Amino acid sequence: MAGKMAGLMAGFGHYTHAVVRGVPASLAKEALRSSQAEVDLAGARSEHEAYVQVLGTRLGLEVVVLPADESLPDCVFVEDAAVVCGDTALITRPGAESRRRETEAMKAALKELNLNIVEMTDENATLDGGDVLFTGQEFFVGLSKRTNQKGAEILADCFKIMQQMSDHRYDKLTLPDDLAANCLYMNLPNKGHVLLHPTAEEFPESVTVFEKLKDHMLIPVSNMEKAKLDGALTCCSVLITKRADI
């Protein structure tokens, strides 16, 4: 078990595939949000296109693009539909009922990639993948309006192997803007440490902090429109590491 765990940690961030989804026209008016800011659909689409371009063209990941579904206005935020670690995928049960069907296309795509699928079927459990952070060593789960204790327990059962390790130490990077902390980290064999982070246009002070990470390839990616819908850079992809032998 320890050997498997060490192998998993050594490979943390070595992603090979990303699952993303198109932006439905219904996103602008019907997607869930906590603010009432006007969303520019064309802007959201071009931002998303640039994001997908970075994953596929610039970073060389194999990108699986699922079609948008107009009846699921939030479907571009694929991170909430699944939590993937190693070769296991937990299909979640999103807290908002209007989003439950988003998991169908995600489950089909992850099956296609030969991952071991575990489904959250308990009707008392809710979990949004966006409330889950995996550090390469352990999972942190934020209990929220969308994720409850039962959902967190099912996640813990699904990825039990992690519980043997605790008491990790982390180097902390403190940012002046809370929202800027939502970044996408990768450790790619031919690129090293990569960090996709919000732009200076959005968070000028935080970007000067990111620039202290001299050993990272820093890629600013604009997220202004999707931020109006509480969507961050991590929300729009599910990253997967497929070993050559799978």
Does 99 show up as a binding residue in the annotation? Answer: yes
Q: For the segment 144-175, what is each residue's pLDDT rounded down to a tens digit?
A: 999 999 999 999 999 985 555 556 788 899 99
Domain-embedded: residue 203: no
Does 175 show up as a binding residue in the annotation? Answer: no
Give the global pTM: 0.92
Tell me the CATH number at 60.
Answer: 3.75.10.10
Domain-embedded: residue 223: no
Domain-embedded: residue 3: no
Domain-embedded: residue 214: no
DSSP string, the chain: -HHHHHHHHHTTT---EEEEE---TTHHHHS--SS-PPP-HHHHHHHHHHHHHIIIIIT--EEEEEPP-TT-TTTT-GGGGEEEETTEEEE-B-SSGGGTTHHHHHHHHHHHTTPEEEE---TT--B-GGGEEE-SS-EEE---SS--HHHHHHHHHHTGGGGG-----------SSGGGG--EEEEETTTEEEEEE--TTT-HHHHHHHTT-TTEEEEE---HHHHTTT--GGGG-EEE---TT-
Domain-embedded: residue 73: yes
Domain count, the chain: 1
Domain-embedded: residue 196: no
Does 245 show up as a binding residue in the annotation? Answer: no
Domain-embedded: residue 245: no
Does 101 show up as a binding residue in the annotation? Answer: no
The residue with greater pLDDT, 167 or 40, is 40
Confidence check: pLDDT of 4 > 50: no
Does 32 show up as a binding residue in the annotation? Answer: yes
Domain-embedded: residue 26: yes
Does 184 show up as a binding residue in the annotation? Answer: no
Does 155 show up as a binding residue in the annotation? Answer: no
Q: By residue range, what is the domain housing residue 18?
A: 12-164+230-240
Confidence check: pLDDT of 66 > 50: yes
